[in-house]
Amino acid sequence: MTADLRHAGSLLGGRVRHDQWATGHRTGIEPVFLAASIPAQAGELVLEAGTGSGAALLCLAARVAGIGGVGVERDAVLAGLAGQNIAANGFAGLTALAADIATLRLDGAFDHAFANPPWHDEAGTASPDAAREAARRSAPGLLHVWTKQLGKHLRHRGTLTLVVAAASLPACLDACAQAGCGSQAVLPLWPRAGMAAKLLLLRAIKGGRAPFRLLPGLVLHDADGRFTPAAEAILRDGAALAFD
């Protein structure tokens, strides 16, 4: 991948520089909402699986000054780009690591772990773009592997947060439970009022024992297709998205 194929971009209304490759998988709104839902505080450590070009990690660091963390990305080229984006934004506490989360071994425990795991059904039509296909296609057992690894690297009472397709929720709840993460809460992202949610935010707590909660959720668009004020506050202003 050469420099002339890079597309200069930004997130959070221009507050965060976020370059991507002009071809292949491109970042959507999912990592921005994922970052908004992480209850991190200054001085805490975070771990992201499948960080890509670093969108979620960058947005989280822009909202919560002073965090440290690692973004893990199997694609070494993408991991390199994430590292460049981190440096361009001056987030000295963050690192992009070229590695496979399935076999990763890190010292220490993290306060928060999160991911936007591949969710396209393995039986669906494949993308002609190899990078996009790798980023979006779910392999058998992948969700459980990622969740187990993220949970393993969490401290007791640390949070695990995923943005997932609604259809995969049963598997996600099971994966979190098997990873020792309970007190599960789901926040739907409604495309418009009255429409079924396609995406969900799922948070669990390592060692948590509280009952499952289904939260009211967030409506993304109004009747005219514009982002709602609540969605705009997250996408443009970097507001937090509370699980309450």
pLDDT per residue as tens digits for the range 125-180: 444 444 444 544 456 789 999 999 999 999 999 999 999 999 999 999 999 999 99
At residue 182 the predicted structure's pLDDT band, cuts being 50, 70 and 90, is: very high
| Token representation of residue 144 | 């459980």
Q: Which of 30-39, 78-87, 139-148, 222-231 has the lowest mean pLDDT?
A: 139-148
Domains and CATH numbers, the chain: 3-22+29-235 (3.40.50.150)
Find, among 36, 6, 30, the residue nearest to 18 by Cα.
6
Q: Which two tokens stand for residue 133?
A: 């296909």
Number of H helices, E strands in the chain: 7, 13
| pTM of the predicted model as reported, rounded to 2 decimal places | 0.89
Q: Is the pLDDT of residue 109 over 90?
A: yes
DSSP class of 179: T
* Alpha carbon 142 to its chain's center: 15
Q: How far apart are CA 15 and CA 36, in angstroms?
A: 14
Beta bridge partners of 47: 70, 113
* Banded pLDDT at 27 (limits 50, 70, 90): confident
Return d(Cα 202, Cα 244) in angstroms, integer.
12
- 4: Cβ contacts below 8 Å, ≥ 6 apart: none
